[in-house]
């Protein structure tokens, strides 16, 4: 399902990153960088993730001289069980709140909802935010953070950061042109250390549907980026798109997971993942380059693996989702 918008703009975005992202190639694009450790002065890893969300949302308000009353809706999601980071962030904001979850595609779900509220004239200003935290997520999904076990090459590294996006009906330089809501796909991949393979079919499906609904071909966009498929998932997507939908992605295709870190010199295996991965790359790097005029039309396809440890241990395969957001510089 593709929705077209005539009246939805990205008024501003605020990005916060952690030390690993600060050491990566996109460091200069982030607004606030935590260079030292992963606690940011908080006592626990989970509280540190709440900190990231609060920091991004507080700063986007102050940077744009907005009061909480000026914002009609706050939409937020993260990877913690019961999206607790977003919930604990929201208790500090006097703004109507929607908590959402689509794993690492959460930011896309938020943008779709926010844009639709604005286009339908139910809201004028909406904040969409998401965060992830490398060690908080490791603790929940894998082993204790200090536990060292040899890892597979296809493993991804959860990015640390918080991103807040201010959507508005007020005209600005970048608009949300259209969005496509994805379908949940599961081709039977069970390996949680190969999430790129699990998520590629969902990305392929939504890219196909977006191009079909809008009657475009991949070259229409200056840049098409998927969320966090990683080095190997990226190649799987290209082959699968060609094989199943006869779509060829060219040099204008990239994956946020392979852009956030220096893959040769940082210990990140197949690349970055986590809800904030695509958000940091899109609203740190791509958005700022759109303002400068480097990119005009960009299709962002955040990808999410919708599994829990319980279902993985019960030998279920991994269902995945991807949504497409078309951004246009005016």
Partner 1 sequence: MDKKYQDIVDKHTPREDIVKNALISFFVGGLLGSLSELLLRVYSMTLNLPRKESGVLVILTLIAIASILTALGVFDVLVSKLKSALLIPITGFAHSMTSAALEYKNEGLVLGIGANIFKLAGTVILYGVVSVYFFGLIRLLIMGG
List residues binding partner 1 (CB under 8 A).
43-44, 139, 143-154, 187-189, 194, 197, 201, 232, 235-236, 239-240, 243, 267, 317
Q: Closest CB to partner 1 among 131 and 236? A: 236
Q: Closest CB to partner 1 among 120 and 150? A: 150
Please report how close the Cβ of residue 97 comes to partner 1 at its closest, in angstroms: 26
Q: Where are the alpha helices (DSSP H) in the chain?
A: 19-22, 45-63, 84-90, 106-119, 134-141, 195-214, 230-240, 256-259, 275-280, 287-292, 309-313
Q: Closest CB to partner 1 among 39 and 97? A: 39
Please report how close the Cβ of residue 5 comes to partner 1 at its closest, in angstroms: 33
Please report how close the Cβ of residue 193 comes to partner 1 at its closest, in angstroms: 10
Q: Closest CB to partner 1 among 200 and 211? A: 200
Cβ pair 37, 19 in contact under 8 A: yes
Tokens of 90: 């929201």
Q: Closest CB to partner 1 among 127 and 198? A: 198
Neighbours of 297 (CB within 10 A): 17
* Gap between the Cα atoms of 123 and 180, Å rounded: 20
Could you tell me which residues are beta bridge partners of residue 73? Answer: 126
Please report how close the Cβ of residue 79 comes to partner 1 at its closest, in angstroms: 17
* Gap between the Cα atoms of 253 and 238, Å rounded: 9
Cβ pair 244, 204 in contact under 8 A: yes
* Gap between the Cα atoms of 30 and 33, Å rounded: 7
Please report how close the Cβ of residue 153 comes to partner 1 at its closest, in angstroms: 5
């Amino acid at each position: 399902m593709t929705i077209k918008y005539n009246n939805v703009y990205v008024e501003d975005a605020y990005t916060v990153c952690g030390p690993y992202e600060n050491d990566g190639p996109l460091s200069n694009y982030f607004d606030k960088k935590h260079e030292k450790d992963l606690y940011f002065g908080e006592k626990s890893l989970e509280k540190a993730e709440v900190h990231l969300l609060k920091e991004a949302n507080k700063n986007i308000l102050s940077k744009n001289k907005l009061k909480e009353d000026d914002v009609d809706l706050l939409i937020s999601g993260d990877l913690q069980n019961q999206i607790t980071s977003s919930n604990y962030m929201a208790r500090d904001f006097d703004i109507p709140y929607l908590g959402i979850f689509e794993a690492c595609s959460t930011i896309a779900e938020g943008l779709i909802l926010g844009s639709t509220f604005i286009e339908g004239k139910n809201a004028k200003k909406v904040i969409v935010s998401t965060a992830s935290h490398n060690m908080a997520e490791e603790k929940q999904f894998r082993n204790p953070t200090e536990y060292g076990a040899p890892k597979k090459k296809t493993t991804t590294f959860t990015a640390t950061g918080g991103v807040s996006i201010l959507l508005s009906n007020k005209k600005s330089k970048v608009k949300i042109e259209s969005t496509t809501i994805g379908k949940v796909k599961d081709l039977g991949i069970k390996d949680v250390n190969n999430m790129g393979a699990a998520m590629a079919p969902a990305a392929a499906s939504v890219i196909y549907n977006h191009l079909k609904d809008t009657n475009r071909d991949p070259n229409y966009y200056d840049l098409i980026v998927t969320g966090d498929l990683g080095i190997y998932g990226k190649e799987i997507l290209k082959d699968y798109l060609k094989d199943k939908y006869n779509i060829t992605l060219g040099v204008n295709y990239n994956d946020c997971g392979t852009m956030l870190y220096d893959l040769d010199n940082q210990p990140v295996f197949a690349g970055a993942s986590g809800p904030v991965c695509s958000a940091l790359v899109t609203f740190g790097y791509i958005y700022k380059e759109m303002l400068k005029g480097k990119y005009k039309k960009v299709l962002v396809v955040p990808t999410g693996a919708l599994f829990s440890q319980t279902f993985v241990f019960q030998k279920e395969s991994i269902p995945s989702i991807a949504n497409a957001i078309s951004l246009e510089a005016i």
